Amino acid sequence: MPPHNPTVRLNSLASGSAPYRYRQEEMVPLGYEFFSNSFANFDRMARVYANAGIDSRQVSMPLDWYRRPRTFSERNDVYIGSSVAILEKVATRCLDQAGLEPGEVGGLVVVSSTGLATPTLDALLMERLRLPPDVRRLPIFGLGCAGGVLGLARAAAMCRAEPELNVLFLTVELCSLTFQKDDASKGNVVAAALFGDGAAGAVLSTSGRGPVVGDWGEYTWPRSLDVMGWDFGEAGEFGVLFSRSIPDIVRRRLRGAVEGFLESRDLSLDDIDLYAAHPGGARVLDSLEQAIGLPPDALIHSREVLRRHGNMSAPTALFVLERALREGATGRILLTSLGPGFTAAMMLIEA
């Protein structure tokens, strides 16, 4: 019998950006092309680009590609090809950092919600990465922005269940492929100003060196299904559901969820040395600071990732954690994100 809750470590952590980088001001004309005919006051709405706390974003295709109407098939073909390419690079970096050969990987968890693939991305990656044919695969769809934390938790759970496994966790989101020119909802306008593309990954095991993955948890608020998600169109469009109430929910309700998670582990907010929060947007980070009572510079890593990359959905939380660890963060880190459900995801990391 394996020991109760063996210690799981992050043996490596890596990120990868999409190939086309644009400054935020270069994205504004695209917003006008998409939405100005649908809103009499789009000049006022366009301020979201300047107020987003974003300097640049990376996307999977040149900007001109997004200007033409695209079928679901065209978008999804790009999703599959680009996702596999960027994940292969991230996975290779993860294995190199961990000092592992591909044949030593026993588990593979892949999270993504911005496209569809069957066989799933994990299967498409196996031969490219030369992984063993008996690797345990777990593809996960639908977690949205919470997928980085919850996917990492599922990978850690796999390690705890089978302590001999080296588990490779990967997540990719190509949010730009879901931008909808004909969706005149305010949520879509905000999403087009915030989201970018990226990927991240980690190797987890019960051996070796690296930060310790502590406990994890999640809290799904009742009657909140309409806060965030996809509204799928008749032609396969990924129409974004992005409620204006998200900052208010964070401000009024997040603290209780976080305190409940910590109290069940005999901890309190005072026991947290660093908050590594998924940067859903500048207003969401402001609301999180207010909810938890954090000083203005407490979320510096989250804000810096937002500034450089925008909101990349699931991978973004791992970008934040990677940056914090690279900058020398130590102690107890609380990694958080929010996603469809509406769900708060939380994980403790001991660095």
Contacts of 227 (CB under 8 A, 6+ apart): 221, 241, 243, 245, 246, 249, 340, 342
Active site residues: 145
* pLDDT recorded at residue 2: 43
134-143 confidence digits (pLDDT tens): 999 999 999 9
Rounded CA separation 251/222 (Å): 17
* pLDDT recorded at residue 33: 86
Measured CA angle at 344 (ends 302, 9), to 5 deg: 70
Confidence band of 236 (pLDDT split at 50, 70, 90): confident
* pLDDT recorded at residue 1: 36
Whether 8-205 shares its CATH topology with 212-350 is answered yes
* pLDDT recorded at residue 36: 80
Cβ of 273: how many Cβ atoms within 10 Å? 13
Give the pair of three-digit tokens for residue 61: 């295709």
* pLDDT recorded at residue 46: 85
pTM, 2 dp? 0.94
Contacts of 292 (CB under 8 A, 6+ apart): 254, 255, 258, 269, 275
Confidence band of 129 (pLDDT split at 50, 70, 90): very high
Closest CA to 207 of 171, 170, 167, 169: 167
Contacts of 97 (CB under 8 A, 6+ apart): 11, 12, 13, 14, 203
User: Using CB atoms within 10 A of its CB, is residue 86 exposed (0-12), middle (13-18) or buried (19+)?
Assistant: buried
CATH placement of domain 212-350? 3.40.47.10
Q: Are 5 and 212 in contact (CB under 8 A)?
A: no
- DSSP element (H, E) containing 43: helix 42-45
With 90 as the cut, is the pLDDT of residue 151 above it?
yes
Confidence band of 330 (pLDDT split at 50, 70, 90): very high
With 90 as the cut, is the pLDDT of residue 243 above it?
no
Rounded CA separation 206/37 (Å): 56
Lowest mean pLDDT among 30-44, 87-101, 222-236, 261-275: 30-44
Q: Are 266 and 215 in contact (CB under 8 A)?
A: no
Q: In the chain, what are the domain boundaries?
A: 8-205, 212-350
Lowest mean pLDDT among 3-12, 90-99, 191-200: 3-12
Over the chain, what is the mean pLDDT? 94
Rounded CA separation 92/100 (Å): 10
Q: Is 53 left (phi over 0), alpha (psi -120 to 50) or beta?
A: left
- To the question of domain 8-205 being in CATH 1.10.10.10, the answer is no
Cβ of 71: how many Cβ atoms within 10 Å? 11
With 50 as the cut, is the pLDDT of residue 133 above it?
yes
Percent above pLDDT 70 for the chain: 99
Rounded CA separation 322/329 (Å): 10
